[in-house]
């Protein structure tokens, strides 16, 4: 289960009503003595690695379950890190993107006006930092790949069919 996406995901349509699907998933995961923690909210099921086995890069699976007009359910799942880890990357990209945007604009203006474009150095650093964040995220994804595969297998078993990840 290797992906170059930051957060691998899937989408699946099931013919049963959404609430029945949610109850089936939760019941199946809890009855099998599954090796994951399950948290459920209306329309959402989240699978976590138990705290005893979790590490910094441990993934979680969040599945939203929406009703369809035909009476079926649309399941949309996303694999990702813990909320704190995800926040580090969101803010990291926000900061590097903002620094890159503004320094790029300033550097281009400096260059067009004939001044020394020192801001382009900041722009280059922001590009390198963004690439570094991406590589760091891929590294973490690889460290959590085995646990991601485990969560995926448990989810497939709970719904009784294979699921293709995009």
Residue 73 sits in the same domain as residue 114:
no
| pLDDT for the residue numbered 32 | 64
Both structure tokens of 94: 């926000």
The neighbouring-strand residues paired with 62 are 46, 78
> Residue 35 domain-assigned?
yes
Separation in Å, CA 20 to CA 24, 135, 149, 150, 164: 6, 40, 25, 24, 22
Q: Can you give the residue range of the structural domain that contains 127?
A: 86-138
pTM of the prediction? 0.82
> Residue 164 domain-assigned?
no
Residue 22 sits in the same domain as residue 65:
yes
166 residues of the chain, pLDDT tens digit each: 455 667 889 999 999 999 999 999 999 888 766 678 999 988 899 999 998 999 999 999 999 999 999 999 999 999 999 889 989 999 999 999 999 999 999 999 999 999 999 999 999 999 999 999 999 999 999 999 999 999 999 999 989 889 988 8
Residue 75 sits in the same domain as residue 127:
no
Q: Are 165 and 9 in contact (CB under 8 A)?
A: yes
Query: Which stretches of the chain are assigned E, i.e. beta strand?
Result: 9-14, 37-41, 44-48, 59-67, 73-81
CATH number for the domain that contains residue 67: 3.30.310.80
Residue 61 sits in the same domain as residue 98:
no
Residue 16 sits in the same domain as residue 75:
yes
What one-character DSSP code corresponds to residue 42?
T
> Residue 66 domain-assigned?
yes
| pLDDT for the residue numbered 36 | 86
Residue 77 sits in the same domain as residue 27:
yes
């Amino acid at each position: 289960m290797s992906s170059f996406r930051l957060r691998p995901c899937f989408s699946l349509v099931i013919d049963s009503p959404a609430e029945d699907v949610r109850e089936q998933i939760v019941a199946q995961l809890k009855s099998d003595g599954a090796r994951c923690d399950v948290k459920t909210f209306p329309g959402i099921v989240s699978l976590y690695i138990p705290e005893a086995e979790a590490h910094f890069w441990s993934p979680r699976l969040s599945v939203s379950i929406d009703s369809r007009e035909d009476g079926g359910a649309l399941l949309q799942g996303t694999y990702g890190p813990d909320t704190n880890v995800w926040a580090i990357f969101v803010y990291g990209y926000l900061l590097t993107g903002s620094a890159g945007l503004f320094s790029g604009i300033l550097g281009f203006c400096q260059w067009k006006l004939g001044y020394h474009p020192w801001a382009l150095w900041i722009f280059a650093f922001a590009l390198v930092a963004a690439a570094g964040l991406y590589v760091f995220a891929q590294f973490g994804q690889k460290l959590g790949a085995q646990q991601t595969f485990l969560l995926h297998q448990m989810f497939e078993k709970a719904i009784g069919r294979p699921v293709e990840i995009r």
